[in-house]
Amino acid sequence: MTTHRIDTLAQLMQRTRLDAIVLNPGPGLLGLTGLQFHLMERPTLFLVGRDGRAAMILSALEEVKARDSLPGLTCYTYSDNPATWAEAIRAAFSAFDANIRVVGVESARMRHLELAFIQNALPGVEVLSADPQLSALRIHKDAQAIGQMQQAVQIAERAFSETLHSIRPGMSERAVAGELAANMLRFGSDAELPFPPIVAAGPNSANPHAVPSERVLQTGDLVVIDWGAAFGGYFSDLTRTLAIGKLDAELYTIYDTVKAANRAGREAGRPGVTCGAVDAAGRAVIAAAGYGPYFTHRIGHGLGLEAHEEPYMFGESTQLLKEGMVYTVEPGIYLPGKGGVRIEDDMAVTETGAVSLSGLPRELITIPA
């Protein structure tokens, strides 16, 4: 049993000290195989050797799912009795390759649960991060992946447009977020969203990662809405900012400034340009307007099987953009005690430039007071 991605990962491994890469459920496993499992009390492990061999250790009840997705996959199973798990996993590693000395793992996902079983099965094993190899595999999206992300964007945009019909003064941030999440599921999103929607009104909108509260929308508020849908495991991530009735004059000014910065950031992306240059293009617009200190985060981040992944779009980054990379452009201005603005789009690098996967209007939308 081989797949193109498993073969590619094995080739990347051959340039390292790694004898094998061991993945538990998460974006690394999903991106490599298309297999999606929940992290549960039972250990689930996917093994890839330097020679491209692959195998899986999992509960017997999950075996059919794995074999149906990857015909020919070698599976080592155990029963529901936790007392049998360690011996079954030890036997599986021995059958797969008894000479494994160095393994790579997905550092942000591997739990102590699985790690303990690995160390029990392979006494003295050295555990290293396989993040560079997994990132190299995922950072360039193929046409299928970008198509799934485009679908995730379209679901998110449709849900937002539907939610706009119900937004009104007196509605709580939490109620808006709930309506938006429900609409994403209604219009076809995977059940696992990239993150719970952010809805932040008035002074709360000056907090880039605010959590929706019971604060109600009031006349004069800016309302930052940051949300994303999922399709086939791939994510979208968008932000738009609304006005409730008439705003203070400075809030219109910062909105127009962020809109211009968003455009500059979108237009800066193309193959061969650094991520830092994209950040600089948007940041220069905000700095020129006198709001530089109030743009408090990078201009964006990579997007795919995770809401935040490589490439990271910060000012000092020398990472070159290449065809197939997908990232966000999301400049913002946040005035403490008054309000904030963020406008975010999802960008895919093409052979000659970068295109926005998102097409929602970027003009200020005003909800009647």
Strand partners, 349: 354
Tell me the whole-structure pTM to 2 decimals: 0.93
Task: Note whether 212 and 327 are same-domain residues.
Answer: yes
The mean pLDDT of 118-129, rounded to a whole number, is 96
CATH code, domain carrying 92:
3.40.350.10
Tens of pLDDT, residues 201-210: 999 999 999 9
Asked if pLDDT for residue 325 goes beyond 60, the answer is yes
CATH code, domain carrying 298:
3.90.230.10
Cα separation, 322 vs 309, whole angstroms: 15
Among 11, 2, 6, 1, CA closest to 23: 6
Task: Note whether 110 and 175 are same-domain residues.
Answer: no
Contact 244, 221 (CB under 8 A): yes
Tens of pLDDT, residues 147-183: 999 999 999 999 999 999 999 999 999 999 999 999 9
Contact 137, 32 (CB under 8 A): yes
CB-hemisphere CA count at 13 Å for 293?
A: 3
Task: Note whether 239 and 259 are same-domain residues.
Answer: yes
Tens of pLDDT, residues 242-269: 999 999 999 999 999 999 999 999 999 9
Domain coverage including residue 209 = 143-367
Three-state secondary-structure class, residue 232: coil
Task: Note whether 53 and 166 are same-domain residues.
Answer: no
Token match 């942000």: residue?
108
Asked if pLDDT for residue 98 goes beyond 90, the answer is no
Rounded to the nearest 10 degrees, how much is the dihedral formed by the CA atoms of 292, 293, 297, 300?
A: -10
Residue 257 burial by Cβ neighbours in a 10 Å radius (0-12, 13-18, 19+):
buried
Percentage, residues of the chain above pLDDT 70 = 99
| Tally of CB atoms within 10 A around 99 | 8
Mean pLDDT (the chain, rounded): 96
Task: Note whether 109 and 178 are same-domain residues.
Answer: no
CB-hemisphere CA count at 13 Å for 259?
A: 15
CB-hemisphere CA count at 13 Å for 140?
A: 13
Task: Note whether 130 and 27 are same-domain residues.
Answer: yes
Task: Note whether 64 and 195 are same-domain residues.
Answer: no
The mean pLDDT of 336-365, rounded to a whole number, is 97
Task: Note whether 46 and 166 are same-domain residues.
Answer: no
Q: What is the pLDDT of residue 69?
A: 87
Q: What is the pLDDT of residue 1?
A: 46
Contact 218, 242 (CB under 8 A): no
Three-state secondary-structure class, residue 66: helix
Task: Note whether 201 and 314 are same-domain residues.
Answer: yes
Task: Note whether 166 and 134 are same-domain residues.
Answer: no
Q: How many domains does the chain contain in total?
A: 2
Residue 363 burial by Cβ neighbours in a 10 Å radius (0-12, 13-18, 19+):
exposed
Single out the residue in 138, 169, 195 at which a domain terminates: 138
The mean pLDDT of 71-86, rounded to a whole number, is 94
Task: Note whether 157 and 117 are same-domain residues.
Answer: no
Task: Note whether 250 and 350 are same-domain residues.
Answer: yes
Single out the residue in 107, 138, 169 at which a domain terminates: 138
Single out the residue in 85, 114, 138 at which a domain terminates: 138
Reported as a pLDDT band with limits 50, 70 and 90, residue 4 is: confident
Contact 177, 212 (CB under 8 A): yes
Reported as a pLDDT band with limits 50, 70 and 90, residue 11 is: very high
| Tally of CB atoms within 10 A around 168 | 13
Asked if pLDDT for residue 2 goes beyond 60, the answer is no
The C-alpha R_g of the chain, in whole angstroms, comes to: 23
Reported as a pLDDT band with limits 50, 70 and 90, residue 38 is: confident
